[in-house]
């Protein structure tokens, strides 16, 4: 069997450092931090009082008031990012076979704010069981791909992937394989999350996962730095239009890059902590290379999971040394979470987009906020600290790892 080739023909981004694809890319290249004090609710009593919120996002610029009330923020973000991706792809929606277009979307949690608010309303209502009739459809993670398909009439494969912070990378791999195997010609895929909420901040604080650098939020996300103290919670969405290569060429589509493969693995180790030797990360990168049909020496850049947690950064750094050996020292490594924060289920999508744009423009965005070297991390690794670096990039990987030990890695290649 010869699997069909899959390319990226459209991108959309809604992030803490830019509400469109061009703004997001400019934010990455300029080393902008999206972290700031929380504005969505009073966080003064929380251990962490800052996050990477969206800036200037107005749902009423995209939905009428009645519609906006029916859709949780995570699904609003999914629709807005997908609107941009579809427009960017220049798909002819009037002539395309919509039975051959599907949507596979990732979300780690889904409508957390909706769930939180309905429970609060119940508790404050003296036990009266009055719930919003849209409570369940607003909350479920699979409502995002459902709403996208309803808006555009896409009748192909449609579902959600939920694998914590690996969710949208999982979605991309599933979408890749549906096109490879001939079940679809075009897939909308990506992820969204909206967990900057009372419940989200409280829950992650309770497990000591978040940075508490309240005095200086903009430098709080500091992957690979000795003084890192946890990740910074982010929100937003990334959407990609994946298309069978010949289908894209036939319609004269602009191709960003080829999605050449993906790998999956499990740590099988701990609910929240990575394997200390990075065994799951090693396996997932090996699996991705094998699926992509490439050797380690062909990889030029990796957007690391790089969350800025004490254990995770060390384990992932060990893993890339094991997989790439001496070739590692000729590669560029970075973590865009230093700027966007951690978008949980949307992380894989927006970081895949960063890798695709790095290939398109032949430049690696920086890892910001590094101040002190960690003696547990090899100092010879080029983490692209401080500023972007121009270089030849033919192949780029993007890693995403989630609570529960879920690992996903995707590989993109320049179309020559």
Active site residue ranges: 165, 305, 342
Conformational region of residue 46, where left means phi above 0, alpha means psi within -120 to 50, and beta covers everything else = beta
Q: Euclidean distance between the first and final Cα of the chain, in Å?
A: 24
In this structure, are residues 303 and 296 in contact, taking their beta carbons and an 8 Å threshold?
A: no
- 10 Å Cβ neighbour count for 125? 11
Neighbour order of strands in the sheet with 332-334: 158-161, 101-106, 186-193, 236-244, 6-14, 257-266, 406-413, 395-402, 301-303, 332-334
Run of H or E residues at 236: strand 236-244
d(CA 29, CA 387) in angstroms, rounded, equals 7
In this structure, are residues 290 and 260 in contact, taking their beta carbons and an 8 Å threshold?
A: no
Residues whose CB falls within 8 Å of the CB of residue 252, separated by 6 or more in sequence, listed in order: none
Closest-CA residue to 276 (of 320, 226, 230, 315): 315
């Amino acid at each position: 069997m010869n699997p069909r080739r899959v390319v990226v023909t459209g991108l959309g981004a809604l992030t803490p450092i830019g509400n469109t694809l061009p703004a997001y890319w400019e934010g990455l290249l300029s080393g902008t931090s999206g972290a700031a004090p929380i504005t969505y609710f009073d966080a003064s009593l929380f251990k962490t009082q800052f996050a990477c919120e969206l800036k200037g996002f107005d749902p009423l610029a995209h939905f009428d008031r009645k519609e906006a009330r029916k859709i949780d923020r995570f699904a609003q973000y999914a629709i807005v990012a997908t609107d941009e991706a579809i427009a960017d792809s220049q798909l002819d929606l009037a002539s395309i076979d919509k039975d051959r277009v599907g949507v596979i979307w990732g979300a780690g949690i889904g409508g957390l704010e909706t769930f939180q608010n309905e429970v609060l309303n119940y508790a404050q209502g003296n036990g009266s069981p009055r719930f919003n009739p849209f409570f369940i459809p607003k909350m479920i993670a699979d409502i995002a791909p459902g709403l996208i398909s309803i808006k555009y009439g896409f009748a192909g494969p449609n579902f959600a992937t939920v694998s914590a912070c690996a969710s949208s990378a999982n979605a991309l791999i599933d979408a890749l394989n549906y096109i490879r195997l001939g079940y679809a010609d075009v897939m909308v895929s990506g992820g969204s999350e909206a967990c900057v909420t009372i419940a989200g901040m409280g829950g992650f604080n309770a497990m000591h996962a978040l940075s508490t650098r309240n005095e200086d939020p903009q430098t709080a996300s500091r992957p690979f730095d000795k003084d890192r103290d946890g990740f910074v919670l982010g929100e937003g969405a990334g959407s990609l239009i994946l298309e069978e290569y010949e289908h894209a060429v036939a319609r004269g589509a602009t191709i960003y890059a080829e999605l050449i493969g993906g790998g999956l693995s499990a740590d099988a180790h701990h609910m929240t902590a990575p394997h200390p030797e990075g065994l799951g990360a090693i396996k997932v990168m090996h699996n991705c290379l094998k699926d992509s049909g490439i050797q380690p020496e062909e990889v030029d850049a990796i957007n690391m999971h790089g969350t800025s947690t004490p254990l995770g950064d060390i384990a992932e750094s060990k893993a890339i040394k094991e997989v790439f050996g001496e070739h590692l020292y000729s590669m560029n490594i970075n973590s865009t979470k230093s700027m966007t924060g951690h978008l949980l289920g949307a992380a894989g999508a927006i970081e895949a987009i960063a890798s695709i744009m790095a290939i398109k423009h032949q430049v690696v965005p920086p890892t910001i906020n590094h101040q002190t070297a960690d003696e547990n991390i090899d100092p010879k690794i080029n983490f692209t600290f401080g500023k972007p670096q121009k270089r030849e990039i033919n192949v780029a990987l993007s890693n995403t790892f989630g609570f529960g030990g879920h690992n996903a890695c995707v590989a993109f290649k320049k179309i020559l």
